[in-house]
């Protein structure tokens, strides 16, 4: 029996400006919580203040660093399945990079008192989500090179929009293949005209060339390693979501995964933890790990793959942020 164990984080939304909200979020709150704060939004650029991407809760992110430090000795790696940063601006990416790469001096704290994942494990693998590729605070997609320039050291075997890592224990191996399906351009979303401005924020697309590269990487790993267990990691959820969060042509990705023999896909993006089963394929959608406004729905996932005689059994252990305990508490596994 061989056990692989790794932490999955998603949708942290690190930013130069913590606790940043936009005016649209006020409509989600009770009137008593929005009336007094709404007036600040009506000065300046209204469109920017309505749509400016929201950032992160530093208390929850500190809890993430503490959890990773606490479990570091029993995990093989940490993965971040997208939206590590709020935007792809260099200021936001620098904040995200410090969280991943800053050297600790006391447990998981840096000399400046901020928190870092680097204290917990040297093997941290990241991929981009839609937020990581925003070129500006209007959510314009297409800033793909900036993310890879900052995090190339955390994207092993990176080529185009695909990367992978292989974990080895004795004769058993586990591969995690990361595939980036973020939009290349605004007009690649599923709507045109006025709706395109809004929908480009949260949609992705299964581009044929990216899917082809993913399948080639999967095939190459199968050829190189006998009986390797392969898990796909993407940002967008490959099932029906609301239109604003949709991965366009997700059906093609799901069918390709089943045809290739992939048994699990890990994703995030929806800010809602879910397990979706499609035949022999299980899709595990992660909850957010620090995005502002997710204080009652922030999750860390501790994934365990138990391989016995070449057969893998996958279990996801789920830890929910508790505002009362100010810590992550374990909930039911799935």
Q: Is the pLDDT assigned to residue 223 strictly greater than 60?
A: yes
Give the pLDDT confidence of 240-251 residue by residue, as tens digits: 988 889 999 999
Q: Is the pLDDT assigned to residue 43 strictly greater than 90?
A: no
Sequence-ordered list of residues with C-beta below 8 angstroms from that of 65, at least 6 positions apart, any chain: 99, 108, 115, 116, 117, 119, 120
The domain limits of the chain are 2-20+55-330
Q: What pLDDT sits at residue 163?
A: 98
Six-digit token pair at 172? 């058993």
Q: Is the pLDDT assigned to residue 26 strictly greater than 90?
A: no
pTM recorded for the entire structure: 0.91
Percent of the chain with pLDDT over 70: 88
Confidence label for 167 from pLDDT (cuts 50, 70 and 90): very high
* Whether the Cβ atoms of residue 137 and residue 131 lie closer than 8 Å to each other: no
Q: What DSSP line would sit under 27-44, residue for residue?
A: GGS-HHHHHHHHGGGGSS
Q: What pLDDT sits at residue 33?
A: 37
The CATH architecture annotation of domain 2-20+55-330 reads 4-Layer Sandwich (3.60)
What is d(CA 292, CA 276) in angstroms, rounded to the nearest whole number? Answer: 25
What is d(CA 111, CA 18) in angstroms, rounded to the nearest whole number? Answer: 19
Six-digit token pair at 164? 């992978």
Over residues 123-131, mean pLDDT: 96
Residue 142 — left, alpha, or beta (φ > 0 → left; ψ -120 to 50 → alpha)? Answer: left
Confidence label for 267 from pLDDT (cuts 50, 70 and 90): very high
Q: Is the pLDDT assigned to residue 287 strictly greater than 50?
A: yes
């Amino acid at each position: 029996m061989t056990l692989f164990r790794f932490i999955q984080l998603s949708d942290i939304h690190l930013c130069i400006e913590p606790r940043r909200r936009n005016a649209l979020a006020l409509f989600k709150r009770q009137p008593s919580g929005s009336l007094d704060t709404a007036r600040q939004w009506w000065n300046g650029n209204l469109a920017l203040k309505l749509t400016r991407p929201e950032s992160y809760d530093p208390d929850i992110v500190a809890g993430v660093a503490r959890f990773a430090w606490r479990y570091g000795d029993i995990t093989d790696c940490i993965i971040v399945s997208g939206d590590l940063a709020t935007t792809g601006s260099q200021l936001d990416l620098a904040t995200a990079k410090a969280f991943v790469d800053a050297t600790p001096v006391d447990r998981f704290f840096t000399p400046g008192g901020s928190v870092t994942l680097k204290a917990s494990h040297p093997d941290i693998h990241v991929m981009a989500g839609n937020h990581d590729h925003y070129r500006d605070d209007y959510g314009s997609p297409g800033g793909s090179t900036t993310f890879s320039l900052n995090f190339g050291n955390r994207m092993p075997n990176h080529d185009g929009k695909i990367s992978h890592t292989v974990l080895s224990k004795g004769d058993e191996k586990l591969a995690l293949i990361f595939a980036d399906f973020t939009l290349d351009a605004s007009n690649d979303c599923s709507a045109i005209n006025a709706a395109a401005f809004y929908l480009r924020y949260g949609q992705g697309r299964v581009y044929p060339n990216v899917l082809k590269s993913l399948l080639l990487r999967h095939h190459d790993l199968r050829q190189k390693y006998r009986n390797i267990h392969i898990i796909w990691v993407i940002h967008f959820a490959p099932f029906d979501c609301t239109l604003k969060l949709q991965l366009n042509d997700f059906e093609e990705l799901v069918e390709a995964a089943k045809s290739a023999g992939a048994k699990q896909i890990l994703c995030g993006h929806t800010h809602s933890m879910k397990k979706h089963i499609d035949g022999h394929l299980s899709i595990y959608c992660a909850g957010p790990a620090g995005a502002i406004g997710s204080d009652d729905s922030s999750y860390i996932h501790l994934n365990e793959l138990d391989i016995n005689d070449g057969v893998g059994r996958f279990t996801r252990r789920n830890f929910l942020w508790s505002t009362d305990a100010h810590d992550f508490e374990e909930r039911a596994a799935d």
